[in-house]
Structure 1
């Protein structure tokens, strides 16, 4: 990779050994790594080193992220030799089976176009609106059960994870008796030490479940996919891949965002007070929390052509890592970006990505976050953290999150 020629008197680009190194550690639960600001100061598109020493481009600017993510030269081909790996754990997914598992999220057009068209009907606003009453009912029951059981709890264990797992199970049509196992399989998938085995186990489970649904159909989204196979519009291999994508689209990131949303609002009591005073603010507050928290640390691409952007030249074959948490704090797009403001016009945040690979489960995630937060704070008005924020254990894995959320009331 090369940068455009520097203007006279401009310092030369640093040698690769002196480049900042990824990944960078997030220390505050609701702020990106402090080093991201230093990266942006170097340029909205700048060079960094991966953990293995390879140089890649890091994109921190909001406008540059939108432009590049929608650029036709951006490829998600994980098997390109220069495809970036933001964290070491992702190297475990460089296997043929993992390529099959990640078919939808790691394919380029035209194959990706067909796959997304096949699966998008499962996540329409109409579909999600149809299950919203059940999400509200489940959230209310979990909150009431938590309060009835005592005066303190780990909110992750008794509210957040059960809610997200039950919603996903209901949406997909997972049998009730399998839901504990299903929850375990899906959360193991985001443990860097278990990611390969967990993905394989989850795929095997879904394969067996889909076979059963061919003879005993239900009413979930997986049953809709089985119907497409019977009609000849999908084949068996595609069916399993799509089932896995439906799981990926609705689990860990949503759970982590709910948990961190609770913590963030408890740490910003003036914002929480405004939400309690005016429930009409919740919808916008959800978007602001998505921007503010931005849990996915790095989205990878490889360029299939030379691109001029942000004062640099990205060469064909160069790796690119999008640091969307940094782009969501770009002051060129958001005034006072490091402040939480539930009144902010935040519709252009990048927490779901941008372009053809934008998160397919975003409609579901928005509804779950809205219902989970609104219900919890309505039914447990005296909720508080049971431990200082800096003593709460966090997870630095594939998706940033909390390992626990001790609360009391």
Structure 2
């Protein structure tokens, strides 16, 4: 093994000053030295940091790397298996058993059929925002309610429960919650979903969760699946909408192009997904010795896959640190790759296309209401990156 191999001594916790959309500079520097670096997990265990696009993609498609939670070799104590149904942290055949009943419910065709409903929800949010204007926090007025309403309707969460549900998800996803608060929020959400599953079995309605009760999945498994779908369907898209708007406002030339040519919205969404990569990283554990990037990843070693640096890899994208809404951002890893490719990718795309288009059309003079450096960002410790609040204003 080369003595000159770069080392990332710890997980970076800060973005470069004045560059809220760029990955931490330590990770960008690591990628400059090559696509793979030595790394020490926060628990003290040795591992690897993968920062190159090609290598991250190859690991995601390689069955010799496991997603299982209980195989993560990052701390000195034993990690329990993922709760039943939480399929992101499982391998086949368990993963396929959980995912297979869901695939047909999140196809591109089915998500396109939802466009009209997404347009109505978005219009309602913008109406309320306009009535309360000419200023607003775009996170609470726009970015959070749209995906929350959509995913709750899809899964059958009653309208009256949505506010409290969103608050609980916020609590255990924001990266700033104490252990006690996190456990309390997670427990409360699990208890609520358990009751919801029982209610859907007793009186099915027209939604995905009711349809799933007709499968061989247990109540406990349905609870875990619902938690993954609700949390992922809400938090990732909410942060893409808010951080994406922030990025557009900070790139006025690109914003002007999008305003002038609304047909650019499809490529704009893909480029924002690449450029921002709000789901920053995932981990995989080698099931056997694997040669990767000229190094041997020993069996039992956990690697960190850095999505945000892979999506800024100059070997894959020209001038990757520039936001270019007209570029072909195909092949980005914002939704992952391989068997764990995000189930809700098409839903997220529909929501972003509709929401960004409607926002820019409704508020042509939209701008930040505070200096950019005062926008409150989520900490790097949060699983999903984004902004905590985004004060905006416009000409009435």
* TM-score normalized with structure 1 length: 0.90
The equivalent of 2:101 in structure 1 is: 118
Report the CA distance between 1:107 and its aligned residue. Answer: 0.7
Report the CA distance between 1:127 and its aligned residue. Answer: 2.2
Report the CA distance between 1:297 and its aligned residue. Answer: 2.4
The equivalent of 1:158 in structure 2 is: 141
The equivalent of 2:14 in structure 1 is: 25
The equivalent of 2:56 in structure 1 is: 65
Query: 1:344 is matched with which residue: 303, 327, 341?
Result: 327
Task: Report 1:91-130 matches (<5 A).
Answer: 94-95=79-80, 99-100=82-83, 103-130=86-113
Report the CA distance between 1:102 and its aligned residue. Answer: 6.0
Unaligned runs of 5+ in 1: 86-90
Report the CA distance between 1:324 and its aligned residue. Answer: 0.7
Report the CA distance between 1:131 and its aligned residue. Answer: 1.8
1:144 and 1:379 in contact (8 A); partners too: no
Give a deviation string over 1:286-330, Cα, whole Å, max 9, x none: 000000001122201110111112121111111100001000000
Distance in 1, Cα, partners of 2:72 & 2:256: 51
The equivalent of 1:401 in structure 2 is: 386
The equivalent of 1:53 in structure 2 is: 44
Distance in 2, Cα, partners of 1:12 & 1:345: 35
Relative to structure 1, the CA distance from residue 100 to residue 61 in structure 2 (aligned partners, 3 Å threshold; closer, same or farther) is: same
The equivalent of 1:209 in structure 2 is: 196
Relative to structure 1, the CA distance from residue 30 to residue 169 in structure 2 (aligned partners, 3 Å threshold; closer, same or farther) is: same
2:66 and 2:286 in contact (8 A); partners too: yes
- State the superposition RMSD in angstroms: 2.0
Relative to structure 1, the CA distance from residue 178 to residue 368 in structure 2 (aligned partners, 3 Å threshold; closer, same or farther) is: same
Query: 2:211 is matched with which residue: 224, 231, 256?
Result: 224
Distance in 2, Cα, partners of 1:24 & 1:76: 24
Distance in 2, Cα, partners of 1:152 & 1:161: 17
The equivalent of 2:280 in structure 1 is: 297
The equivalent of 1:38 in structure 2 is: 29
Q: Secondary structure at the match of 2:87?
A: coil
Report the CA distance between 1:185 and its aligned residue. Answer: 2.0
Distance in 2, Cα, partners of 1:346 & 1:334: 8
Unaligned runs of 5+ in 2: none
The equivalent of 2:246 in structure 1 is: 263
1:83 and 1:302 in contact (8 A); partners too: no
The equivalent of 1:197 in structure 2 is: 184
Query: 2:337 is matched with which residue: 350, 354, 358?
Result: 354
Relative to structure 1, the CA distance from residue 19 to residue 141 in structure 2 (aligned partners, 3 Å threshold; closer, same or farther) is: closer
2:8 and 2:30 in contact (8 A); partners too: no
Distance in 1, Cα, partners of 2:110 & 2:53: 31
Distance in 2, Cα, partners of 1:378 & 1:353: 31
Of stretches 388-397 and 330-339 in structure 1, the one that deviates more from structure 2 is 388-397
Q: Secondary structure at the match of 2:334?
A: coil
Query: 2:310 is matched with which residue: 327, 330, 333?
Result: 327
Distance in 1, Cα, partners of 2:5 & 2:26: 19
Of stretches 348-357 and 213-222 in structure 1, the one that deviates more from structure 2 is 213-222
Report the CA distance between 1:386 and its aligned residue. Answer: 0.6
Task: Report 1:232-243 matches (<5 A).
Answer: 233-243=216-226
Q: Secondary structure at the match of 2:268?
A: helix
2:103 and 2:343 in contact (8 A); partners too: yes
1:155 and 1:406 in contact (8 A); partners too: yes
Distance in 1, Cα, partners of 2:348 & 2:137: 22
Of stretches 59-68 and 168-177 in structure 1, the one that deviates more from structure 2 is 168-177
Give a deviation string over 1:57-82, Cα, whole Å, max 9, x none: 00011111111111111111222261
1:101 and 1:244 in contact (8 A); partners too: no
Distance in 2, Cα, partners of 1:294 & 1:81: 23
The equivalent of 1:377 in structure 2 is: 360
